[in-house]
Structure 1
Amino acid sequence: MSQTTVNPGQLQPPAPESGTRAAPASAADRAIKRRRVLDILDAAGRDSLLLSTHTALTWYLDGSRVHISLAGDPVAAMLVDRDGDHLVTFNNEAGRIAAEELPSGVALHTAPWYGSLHEAAAALGAPGSAPLAEADVAAELRAARQQLLPAESDRYARLGAELAAILTDVLSTAKPRTTEFDIASALAGRVVAAGAEPLVLLCNGSARSQFRHPLATHSPLGRRAMAVVCARRDGLVANITRWVRFDAGSPAERDAEARIAAVEADIFDATVPGTTLDRVFTEIKSAYVRHGFGAEQWEQHHQGGPAGYAGRDPRVTAAVTDTVVQDQPFTWNPSGPGVKIEDTVQLTGSGVQVLTADPRWPAATVNGLARPLTLQL
């Protein structure tokens, strides 16, 4: 196994005309993240930690891309020890990672493309001392990444605004004869052009509105449609749902849309620093009853949860007892028959800030917060 020593001068942002990418990492944010991981090692009485998942790696590297296939495992593993940070990647990935993804201060090592990244990373630690496995401190790592730091908060806000604008642009051109695949492909093209990865693309027309996770088909939209995008850029995942229709909608339909927004408002009210997520989950179940959806509606679809470096980090259930903190991002997605509402938000000192917002999209004020309506064309 060989080590590549990277000169910090090689990691400066490239000239604009080069068209290449520079690692997005903030040195200040990364220093805080390293301190948080060292605190985990201190609490566990260990000297090193092996990071191996997309969520942990992109968080700790502060936005580096460590994937090739969106469906595959990371092409890197990270050993964090008391002496420094050691990233191991395959020999055929090292050039790109060194040039475009490696934060300053991280030592890059290579393993053969047919080798084991985890074994190579573990071998960098002190002899006779196995590193702590990521799975052994999953809850502690989740807590470490809950509170977004300044630079990553800025990156997340930019992604959210761009994603919301993409939904507005694409859905504003839709027609009843437009197919679900037409919408999904247009969204995918715009997301990729924005430098992001489309992790989830869903669309249903009026003939398929009963499905909560509608993978697109060749079916036309008809009189009403939903589009969902979950997109990742610099490791952060933003999630958004929008609806469009080509008539005024029925009274029952408009009533259900207002009631699901009221459910979401109750969830926002319950999501405050210091509370625990199992308590928020209890409030979610009560909100469905209060707003006329029935006591069992929450069982028909997951309700969302904390967001950030995973689509949900984690999905909230009665068993999740994490404590909510300020500057933590969330994506709640309450839904009912034929209705759903979803945006990525961040808790700030002044309350809930909606990140996936476009001022061009029609909205109504619900409990003091602008929430998306169905776009009528």
Structure 2
Amino acid sequence: MTRKEELRIKLDRVRTLMSSLEFDGVFLKRQDDFSWLSCGGQNYIGWGDMGLCGLLVTQDKTYAVTNVIEEPRMREEEQLEELGFKIHAGAWQDTGFEARTLKSLVPSGRIAFDYTHDLGPNIEGEIKKLRLSLTKSEIERMRKVGIMATLALEEAAVSVRPGDTEIEAIKRIANALYDQDMMSTSLMCAADDRLMKYRHAIATPTKIKERFQIGGNMRKWGLTVCLTRYVNFVPVTDELRKQYRLNQLIDTTMMVNTVVGRAYHEPLKAAQKLYDEHGYGDEFLKHHLGGPIGYANRDYRVDFNLPGTIQENQGFCWNPSITGTKSEDTILVRKDGFEFITRPIVFPKNEVVVDGKTFIRSDILEKF
């Protein structure tokens, strides 16, 4: 599938939504939506919500609206003109250029946005739904991102030694990512006592002694994957190994229950049942368990009130945890099951059995 073929699929989705909501134009400027519609492009120089170039879709035309600073790169590197977007670029100091241009291009004034704007309603929630089911090309790209991210994280984790700091550990991942023209949207590392105290442990100058957890969200072409791994410099105790196996059983059970057409909360219910059966009911309440992933770290954090159903070719990253352990890898939901987007490559492997089927998951890496 070419980039233009992928774009046609996405424009059809946007225009169908426009017709159903009776709009004559939709303007997308968020970083995630720009990457999605431009088929892997980037409209920002620093990661966040909003970008510096927006894409306007009408029923028969497409435009890019930006400033003279961004215009050359949007044309030459993002190749927006080749994709069919006519570029309108204003002076950097002309703060009214964007609004005037949108009014002239959509004279009816019936225009919607993926962010809050004076000219029309914010329909980001509806736009996000258009992104959830990945195209063939996006699936191919996401598979590549999964391999590159896994190698960057696992090879960095393998290189860590006692006495290295948490910051040094994630710096090695960041370097490996930049070597592949990738970026992180979050990287976390926690060692020893901090691992037991904090679910979201940002990296600090703390020196690693006996064990550490390392993980995060990594992105290329706008597509994000997530994974977490563990390293021990002392023998893994039977208690820790048993807990980690249970954590992986919960995670893999959620994956198995992530089935096309089911409600988002069905995997959550399956996880809660296992937490309760094994005497960890209180742990279920201490951290969210993740959800869909694609052009954002999580499109939604799934809870029991989240509406909607699981789609074919939708990415997911569940992250159930028990104090001191977490299981986390990215999967892609397929018509007849799911496939792992991230999986152990350098790390040791272990088997997890759910409903009579065996799944390969990463084990704790022991180095002593």
Structure 1 residues 24-75: Cα deviation after superposition (integer angstroms, max 9, x where no partner): 9711111000000111011112211121212211111111011111146311
Superposed displacement of residue 261, structure 1: 0.5
Instruction: Identify unmatched segments of 5+ residues in structure 1.
Output: 1-23
Structure 2 match to 1:150: 136
Contact 2:32 2:49 in 1 (8 A): no
Q: Deviations over 1:121-172 (max 9, x none)?
A: 5224332423023364334322211111111111110011011111221111
For the residues of structure 1 that align with 2:218 and 2:98, how far apart are their CA atoms? Answer: 28
Q: Measure, in 2, the Cα distance between the counterparts of 1:327 and 1:154.
A: 11
Deviations 1:299-350 (A, max 9, x none): 2122111111111011112221121111111111111100001111101234
Deviates more, 1:120-129 or 1:364-373: 120-129
Instruction: Give yes or no for the alignment of 1:36 onto 2:13.
Output: yes
User: Against the structure 1 CA distance between its residues 89 and 159, is the aligned structure 2 distance closer, same or farther, given a 3 Å change threshold?
Assistant: same
Q: C-alpha distance in 2, partners of 1:132/1:300?
A: 38
Structure 2 distance, partners of 1:116, 1:339, is 51
Which of 120, 128, 134 does residue 114 from structure 2 map onto? Answer: 134
Q: Work out the CA distance in 1 between the residues paired with 2:244 and 2:112.
A: 47
Aligned residues of 1:55 and 1:309 also touching (Cα < 8 A): yes
1:79, 1:121 within 8 Å by CA — same for their partners in 2? no
- 2-structure distance, mates of 1:322, 1:137: 16
Q: Deviations over 1:245-272 (max 9, x none)?
A: 1122122211110110111122112210
Counterparts of 1:124 and 1:254 in 2: how far apart (Å)? 64
Q: Please identify, of 195-204 and 360-369, the stretch whose mean Cα deviation from structure 2 is larger.
A: 360-369
Residues 291 and 192 of structure 1: CA distance in aligned 2, closer, same or farther (over 3 Å): farther
Query: 1:316 aligns to what SS in structure 2?
Result: coil
Matches of 2:48 and 2:341, distance apart in 1: 26
Alignment of 1:192 onto 2:182: no
Residue 101 of structure 1 corresponds to which residue in structure 2? 78
Decide which moves more: 342-351 or 34-43: 342-351
1:226 is aligned to 213
After TM superposition, the score normalised by the length of structure 1 is: 0.89
CA distance in 1 between partners of 2:274 and 2:4 (Å): 42
Offset of residue 374 of structure 1: 0.8
Residue 60 of structure 2 corresponds to 83
Cα distance in 1 for residues equivalent to 2:49 and 2:19 = 32
AA matched with 2:143: A
Preserved contact between residue 66 and residue 98 of structure 2 (Cα < 8 Å): no
Determine the structure 1 residue equivalent to 2:332.
346
What is the distance in 1 between the residues matched to 2:96 and 2:132?
Answer: 30
Compare 325-334 and 72-81 and name the one that shifted more: 72-81
Aligned partner of 1:369 among 351, 359, 365: 359
Runs of 5+ consecutive residues of structure 2 not aligned to the other structure:
116-121
Q: Aligned pair 1:119/2:99, yes or no?
A: yes
Q: Displacement of 1:218 after TM fit?
A: 1.0
- CA distance in 1 between counterparts of 2:101 and 2:188 reads 37
Asked if the contact 1:25–1:63 (Cα under 8 Å) also holds between the matched residues in 2, the reply is no
* TM-score, scaled relative to structure 2: 0.91
**1:159-238, aligned counterparts within 5 Å?**
159-209=145-195, 210-238=197-225
Kept in 1: contact 2:157–2:231 (CA 8 A): yes
Whole-angstrom CA distance in 1 between matches of 2:336 and 2:287: 30
Aligned-partner Cα distance in 2 for 1:281–1:33: 30
- 1:334-371: per-residue Cα shift (whole Å, max 9, x none)? 11100001111101234221111243321112132111
How many corresponding residue pairs?
Answer: 353
Retained in 1: the 8 A contact 2:23–2:112?
A: yes
**Separation in 2 of the partners of 1:358 and 1:113?**
47
Summarize the Cα distance change of 1:219–1:117 in structure 2 as closer, same or farther, 3 Å threshold: farther
Bigger shift: residues 122-131 or 95-104: 122-131
SS state at 1:123 partner:
helix
Asked if 1:55 is matched to 2:32, the reply is yes
Contact 1:207/1:222 (<8 A) preserved? no
Percent of pairs with identical residues:
24
